[in-house]
Structure 1
Amino acid sequence: MVRLPLTVAEVERGARLGALLRRARGARSMLDIALDAGVSPETLRKIELGRVATPAFPTIAAIAEVVGLSLDAVWAEISEPERETVEPAGARAPRERLAS
């Protein structure tokens, strides 16, 4: 299965999510948060750095709970401001099933 490239909006949303989680973590170690949330420290690091721009919902829910964020607060942070980005025509191809 081929992964489609992320849009500019998805990359920006991932960066906002990572910054929010870093701020909420505060002085607590990444290792402590990751272990308490049941995710690997590497996964948390990648999310905080914005390298995983679209993490799974259960992962975010677990981390948010550990750092004391409501999912409403997370959504408010990552959904605003939704900047309108115009992609050139044909920049993102429709999702098609690739033949093996």
Structure 2
Amino acid sequence: MVRLPLTPAEVARGQRLGAALRRARGERSMLDTALEARVSPETLRKIESGRVATPSFPTIAAIADVLGLSLDALWAEVNQPERDAAAAGARTGAAERWAS
């Protein structure tokens, strides 16, 4: 199976996901978190560092559960910049239409 290269947006989303999980983990050790979520510490490290930009849903669900994170809240946080950029683009486009 051939994997297509990730888009810059997918890479950025993966980095935001990793940062959100890292913040949620706080002082808790990576090893303890990974073992409780039943993922390898290496997998958790790669996700948190953004090296795995598109982890599987069951993996993220398990990690989020261990960290007490709502998947809805996590999804909203990870996708927030895209919505902000889209809204800014829509506002800019509207302003440009009114200016002409």
Short-chain TM bin: 0.7 to 0.9
Give the whole-Å Cα distance in 2 for the aligned partners of 1:75 and 1:41. 22
Give the whole-Å Cα distance in 1 for the aligned partners of 2:36 and 2:61. 12
Report the equivalent of 1:33. 33
1:64 aligns with 2:48: no
Superposition map of 1:1-100 within 5 A: 1-82=1-82, 83=85
Q: Which consecutive unaligned segments of at least 5 residues does structure 2 have?
A: 87-100
Structure label with greater radius of gyration: 2
Q: Which consecutive unaligned segments of at least 5 residues does structure 1 have?
A: 85-100
Give the whole-Å Cα distance in 2 for the aligned partners of 1:17 and 1:45. 12
Give the whole-Å Cα distance in 2 for the aligned partners of 1:9 and 1:73. 19
Report the structure, 1 or 2, having the larger helix content.
2
Q: In structure 1, what residue type is equivalent to 2:70?
A: S
RMSD of aligned alpha carbons: 0.9
Task: Tell me by how many angstroms 1:19 deviates.
Answer: 0.2
Task: Tell me by how many angstroms 1:2 deviates.
Answer: 1.5
Task: Tell me by how many angstroms 1:22 deviates.
Answer: 0.3
The runs of at least 4 consecutive aligned structure 1 residues that moved more than 2 Å come to none
Describe the superposition over 1:1-35 as per-residue Cα deviations: whole angstroms up to 9, x where unpaired: 21110000000000000000000000000000000
Q: Which has the higher contact order (CA 8 A, sep 6+)?
A: 1
**Normalising to structure 2: TM-score of the pair?**
0.81
Task: Tell me by how many angstroms 1:68 deviates.
Answer: 1.0
